[in-house]
Structures are given as C-alpha cells and as structure tokens.
Amino acid sequence: DYGPRDGTDLLTWIRGVLGSAGLPADGEVWLQTFPRIAGWMFNPVSFWYCHDAAGTLRAVLAEVNNTFGQHHQYLLCAQGGG
C-alpha cells in the first residue's frame, strides 16, 4: 500500500526519493498511516516524516490515494531543506 508498490524495500525507496530531491537521507523516517481493515478499506493519505542525522525534520512526503486506485506523492521540504 506504500511507496512504489512493487516489493521494493520501503526505506531504500524513501531514501532514494529524498536523495533525488537533494535532501539528506541519513536520519530516521517515520510513517504515519491508517492500515486496511479486513482488507477492504483504502488509505486516503499517508505521511512519511523524514529527519536528518541530527534528528531535524527535513521533509514530509504525502502519499495520496483515491477510490479509483490512483496514487500521487507530494514532497514537502522543510524551510531551508532544499
């Protein structure tokens, strides 16, 4: 339900997204989401909180899904973060 949806390791994927945007990809990454319930409910939005090695929040990636099975990603950089 998250990331590229092709079996890729999610931490490797999100670090690649950050690196492509010129952001540090060396800190903790937290995923805030709502899981499926009994396999039938879809998740409208998930947030990836991306920190640098010092623990500073550098970016938030919002993954937005709709009921048609489409999904889009929006990378929000912290001020001065790239």
**Tens of pLDDT along 61-72?**
999 988 888 889
Reduced to 3 states (helix: H, G, I; strand: E, B; else coil), residue 52 is coil
- Does residue 2 lie within any of the structural domains? no
Residue type, 14: I
Distance in angstroms (rounded) separating the CA atoms of residues 73 and 47: 10
Q: Check whether 8 has a pLDDT greater than 80.
A: yes
- Does residue 41 lie within any of the structural domains? yes
Distance in angstroms (rounded) separating the CA atoms of residues 47 and 72: 12
Total of domains in the chain? 1
- Does residue 54 lie within any of the structural domains? yes
Joined together, the tokens standing for residue 33 give 């989401």
- Does residue 14 lie within any of the structural domains? yes
The answer to whether the pTM exceeds 0.95 is no
- Does residue 69 lie within any of the structural domains? yes
- Does residue 3 lie within any of the structural domains? no
Q: Check whether 73 has a pLDDT greater than 80.
A: yes
pLDDT at 39: 67
Domain span at residue 29?
10-77
Average pLDDT, the chain: 87
- Does residue 72 lie within any of the structural domains? yes
